[in-house]
């Protein structure tokens, strides 16, 4: 694929759906999605940008899932469940659907926090639904998986370990740094360079 930049608009518009990942990481994931789309594109009746959308979104979605802060998500999910339970209870007590202010008072949780959690969780559920929809009827491309695995294997041992810990074991950069006995800054640099090498290998 000669010029990824001509599809920056597609990457940027897709990236706006994700709130919990650095833009640079989303951009690289989008580029990887474009390369995969280009390698699998075989239907001239479909505009390439339309065909590539699901690949770009899919790569960003998988990156987003790996980047989610599990502890925060558990808290968000707990509050979200409490809100739904409170809404059900108050509906029976009041004989009508309660307002968020009434739910806030009932749970003794700040209204702005409830609004934030609802927005975050519904955004996540929306992304999950969109990802599920684009996966319907789609088969995994074994060649792509083999190529990605080979590209990781081509890295030096330290870089390979960083990528493995970050993306297969879902560790933070700080956790990886502690395990490998290096600084978090070095982990960040190695990760960034390794992803560039992987993208070059695949392309």
pLDDT tens for 87-127 read 989 998 999 889 999 999 999 999 998 998 888 777 777 77
Q: What is the DSSP string of 38-49?
A: HHH---TTS-HH
Which own/partner contact pairs does 105-109 have at CB distance under 8 Å and 24+ positions apart? 107/82, 107/83, 109/79, 109/82
More confidently predicted of 12 and 201: 12
pLDDT, greater one: 78 or 20: 78
pLDDT digits (tens, 9 = 90+) for 154-166: 777 788 888 878 7
Q: What is the mean pLDDT of residues 171-187?
A: 86
Identify the pLDDT of residue 4. Answer: 72
Quote the Cα angle for 128-195-4, to 5°: 80
Distant-in-sequence, close-in-space partners of 64: CB < 8 Å, separation ≥ 6? 18, 20, 21, 127
Burial class (CB in 10 A: 0-12, 13-18, 19+), 68: middle
Separation CA 138–CA 151 (nearest Å): 24
pLDDT on residue 3: 66
Percent helix, percent strand, percent coil in the chain, to nearest 5? 80, 0, 20
Asked whether the beta carbons of 32 and 202 are under 8 A apart, the reply is yes
| Structural contact between residues 98 and 91, judged by C-beta atoms closer than 8 angstroms | yes
Evaluate the CA torsion angle 66, 159, 22, 13 in order and state its sign. negative
Residue 172 has a pLDDT of 85
Give mean pLDDT, residues 169-181.
82
Q: Is 193 in contact with 159 (CB distance < 8 Å)?
A: yes
């Amino acid at each position: 694929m000669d010029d990824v930049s001509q599809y920056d608009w597609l990457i940027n518009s897709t990236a706006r759906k994700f709130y919990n990942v650095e833009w640079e990481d989303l951009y690289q994931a989008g580029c990887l999605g474009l390369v995969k789309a280009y390698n699998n594109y075989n239907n001239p009746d479909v505009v390439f940008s339309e065909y590539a959308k699901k690949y770009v979104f899919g790569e960003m979605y998988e990156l987003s899932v790996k980047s989610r802060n599990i502890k925060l998500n558990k808290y968000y999910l707990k509050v979200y469940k409490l809100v739904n339970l409170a809404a059900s209870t108050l509906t029976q007590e009041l004989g009508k659907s309660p307002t968020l202010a009434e739910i806030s008072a009932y749970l003794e949780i700040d209204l702005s926090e409830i609004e934030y959690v609802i927005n975050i969780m519904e955004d996540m559920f929306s992304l999950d639904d969109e990802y599920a929809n684009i996966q319907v009827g789609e088969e995994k491309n074994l060649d792509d998986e083999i190529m990605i695995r080979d590209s990781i294997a081509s890295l030096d041992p330290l870089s390979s370990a960083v990528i493995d810990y970050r993306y297969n074991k879902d560790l933070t950069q700080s956790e990886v740094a502690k395990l490998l006995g290096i600084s978090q800054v070095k982990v960040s640099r190695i990760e960034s360079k390794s992803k560039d090498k992987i993208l070059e290998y695949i392309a």
